[in-house]
Amino acid sequence: MYQTSLTKGQELVAQRMVKEFRRLGHDAFLITSVYQDSDLAVNLDEVRRRGGYVHAFERELGIPVIRVNSDSATWPPRRISFIDFVAVLNNIVEDLKLNVLVTHSTLWNGPEEVMKFVAWRRRMMEGGAPRSPLVFCHMSHFQEASDERYAIVERSYRETWNSIILPRVLAEADVVLVTTPYEADSMKRMGAKEESLFLFPGGIDDEDIASLGDEVAFRVKHKLPGDAKLVTFLGSVEERKNALELLEVARILSKKKDIHFVIAGRMEGAYGESVREAASKLTNVSVLGPIPDDEKAALIRTSFVNITMTRAEALGISQLEFMSAGVPVITSGAGGQSWIVRDGSNGVVLEGPDDAKGAADAITTLASRPRLRSKMGKSARRTASAYSLTRLVDRLSKRLSREVQSSFDDMDALRGMPGEERIIEAWVHGGKKVAATSRRLIVRSVKSGKEVTSVPYDEISKIARHAEAP
């Protein structure tokens, strides 16, 4: 992923995916840039001195992170580019013996560079170079290049990337992770194979939400009224999220003393500052800025409803987090929101991102009808339970294990191996397919594919010559 973050949805998905893979017993790492929330997280000179990447366990994120040589891109906006990444990735894969790579997001050079690296590696294997199979996955978190959200210059660039680069990435990928069925349809139109698609709706760390944070202490610390119903926005405060429209909802309800609005998350650039300034003029709005995980959990649990007036959204991890705690969602219905939030069942879907009056009416209705709010909350919790990160990553782990096994099977090296035997290395050389396992060498003719020579290590009596490989 192009950076780490404490609040941004796509970055959080990548970080949580690593954490959950490790919980399942896999060696998993986040390969990312030197940036966290657009600020330098490590010393760039040190990264360059060490050959292009540094590897450390980052306690704040709770995962091992590999930060590579990178720079903030001037174009497209809000993106970061990896530098000399094919060479750096080659060293990382060989050093850590990786067998699966998952790229996240679009409009940056990570997916394209990984695609080239994987294709290069596969061509080397076909030519006889000693390389193990590598499974390549891509997760776009895809959003259409809307003319409502982007001016012509940025929109046309996004359309160009989506029409030229993304189809090539999808064609090379073994698995394409999609957040919604709508995204699956988009990926198929761009060339993804039906059998490569895997539904992965972001995922929520519901255990953390259930166990962390003191709700009363949280209200006291941030001077939130103890008896008010909190209408909460949680996420990065940027133009796409449309927080200024949320302030219009707060203005409409400014006379209702039992309703208080909370905006939590990183304030992005000039737009974030304009939201902070406008909110300062409203007594029923509190802007908290970014908050740590334990406070986030407390905020979610103490909220009356979650609200998002977003103009574009692949899915909405924040909404799933609120729903997992039994909090209904009021949403503009943009993108994947209309798939995860069902109007009148687990939340309210508005007429669009500018429907401030509809949002105000929905809040008023739920505040006056506690049984309806409770019913929606229970339905929200049931919906979110299907998207537990533990369940999703467990399913994905099994799929990837099959992909890795299939990659070796394609080389005919592992067919018939006993259950306790594991592959160490596999390659093609001199017209032969070779696998070195934990017990023996297996050699098969590339042309016939039938004649197999199996040499158990304990039957080798003499080694005439040897060569070492990394």
What does the pLDDT read at residue 450? 61
The pLDDT assigned to 413 comes to 47
- What pLDDT is attached to residue 208? 62
Check residue 75 and give its pLDDT: 83
- CA–CA dist 281, 287 (Å, integer): 11
In the chain (470 residues long), the average pLDDT of successive 10-residue segments reads: 89 92 93 95 94 94 96 86 96 92 95 96 80 91 77 90 95 93 90 93 66 80 92 90 93 94 91 93 93 87 93 79 92 81 90 93 95 94 83 91 79 53 76 81 74 81 78
Amino acid (1-letter code) at residue 323: M
Position 253 scores a pLDDT of 95
Decide: 75 and 157 in contact? Cβ < 8 Å: yes
pLDDT at 414: 42
The b/e string for 94-125 (b: 16+ C-beta within 10 A; e otherwise) is: eeeebbbbbbbbbbbbbbbbbbbbbeebbeeb
Domains, the chain? 9-199 (3.40.50.2000), 206-387 (3.40.50.2000), 416-470 (no CATH)
pLDDT of residue 138: 97
User: Are the C-beta atoms of 318 and 308 separated by less than 8 Å?
Assistant: yes
- Residue pair 223/284 in contact (Cβ under 8 Å)? The answer is no
Q: Cα 33 to chain center, whole Å?
A: 15
Taking CA atoms, 124 is separated from 87, 127, 402, 424, 465, in Å, by 15, 5, 23, 18, 25
